[in-house]
Homo-oligomer: A and B are copies of this chain.
Amino acid sequence: MEEMNFEALIALTEKGDFSMLKMELIEMNEVDIAEFLGELDRDMMIRVYRILPKDLAADVFAYLESEDQGDIISIITDKEIKKLIDDLFLDDVVDMVEEVPANLVTRILKNASPETRKLINTYLNYPDDSAGSIMTNEMVELHDRLTVGEAIDHIRRTGIDKETIYTCYCIDNSRHLKGTIDLSDLVFNDRDALLRDIMDDDKQLIFVHTEDDQELVAELVKRYDLLAVPVVDKEERLVGIVTIDDILDIIEEETEEDFEKMAALLPSEDEYLKTPVWILVKNRIGWLLVLMISATLTGSIIQSFEDMLAVVSGLTAAIPIITGTGGNAGNQSSTLAIRALALGEIELKDWFKVLFKEIRVAAICGIILGLANFARMWALGNPGGIEVYIIVSCAMFAAVVMAKMIGCMLPLLAKLIKIDPAVIAGPVISTLVDSLSLLVYFALASAFLIK
């Protein structure tokens, strides 16, 4: 998407024409206003924030970066903080409390109602990335003994602040989740019908527990095309919902983690440009060191064949071509296997189907690459002659087949022993493939070239 163009608005702030600026801003979407505020420096940001009408200000606040949120909290009055907490959805308040400095947390909690304060503390105590930690309590609960008419009146009376009113949750006297009902069903049904008769209460009622991982919530939303998932506590009482807008963020976050793990990076939660250099170093250096040390294996294999390499011309030059091709071939297979596992397209029990498929693909690719390599060496008149060309081509075939077998099996093995398959990707596989292909290469060369 094209970036928003805020030049005209920034010009207004520079001219100091705040009444014109306000007229422009109140016509804008709160997401865009928040982005615009993010482009201003601290003092101007606060000044512009204060000209926003109170209700719009709360909407905009929810979309601000946590740094900007902190700046605003630190200068507004206690009364304004109270109002802000009331206006925000509870999950946004919790997100803010998790991000701002400790002294501001104290101020926020002090100004929250005792009830809200208790809820915030409860939410903060749920495990990271659990359904409880991302849910909100702003859902519509309807007693299952109500009629449609009573339900609509109840929603009209209380629903305005609710994060989603499109799915309403039916509970019994002890707040156990009994069923769900869509707002559209309320609109379409007779006012006298009883919720318990028309609600969706089949065996498949979809919900999660507070301790469940957020990935499960995302899976359910994707699988069943839901707009929100209800969250229940250990006693199966309704305590919150997770809405689809938060699910989109979770899906993005989990995907990013996979990208990062597959590139031998520790996952990071912050935006690239906002991450300090030492954090970037910390996220990268560990794997780089491990992989460098493990490449010692490849090095020592070459070492032990150094005499042969020194004698037979043309052998050394082929090393990076064989290992590189093997690495690329293995990387293709491991990426497909890791993603197919992540998307649920394959399971552990499919291991033989996957292996058999990869062996056939590898054999065909290996033959094509081997022949192409022979042609390449011949065309370039590489040193070593036909014998070397044949040995390099055979080693390349072997490298491709081994790389693809290892590439598709290691992620499954990782899953079996409950390691994240993404962590086993690319670089780890390369080290293994490099060593094995060189062993095959040098064994072939020793057998046929050294008389």
Contact = CB atoms under 8 A, between A and B. Distances in A.
B291 A325 contact: yes
Interface string A397-435: 000100000000000000000000000001100110010
A365 B187 CA distance: 62
A281 B360 CA distance: 9
Contacts of A343: 252, 256
A251 B373 CA distance: 39
Contacts of A65: none
A313 B302 contact: no
A299 B320 contact: yes
Q: What's the number of copies of this chain in the assembled complex?
A: 2
Contact of A320 (B166, B262, B287, B319): B319
B361 A280 contact: yes
Nearest to A375: B293
Interface residues of chain A: helix, strand, loop or mixed (majority): helix
Contacts of A364: 277-278, 281, 285
A280 B357 contact: yes
A27 interface: yes
A260 B338 CA distance: 11
Interface stretch (A68-76, A115-123, A216-224, A233-241): A216-224
Would you list the 10 A-B pairs with minimal beta carbon distance, nearest first? Answer: A263-B335, A310-B310, A225-B245, A1-B219, A303-B317, A272-B340, A299-B317, A298-B320, A29-B204, A302-B317
Interface of A: 1, 3, 27-29, 31-32, 152, 155-156, 159-160, 165-166, 183-184, 187-188, 202-204, 206, 216, 219-225, 227, 244-245, 248, 251-252, 255-256, 258-260, 262-265, 271-273, 277-278, 280-281, 284-285, 287-289, 291-293, 295-296, 298-300, 302-303, 306, 309-311, 313-314, 316-321, 323-325, 327-329, 331-332, 334-337, 339-340, 343-347, 350, 353-354, 357, 360-361, 364-365, 368-369, 372-373, 376, 380, 382-383, 396, 400, 426-427, 430-431, 434, 438
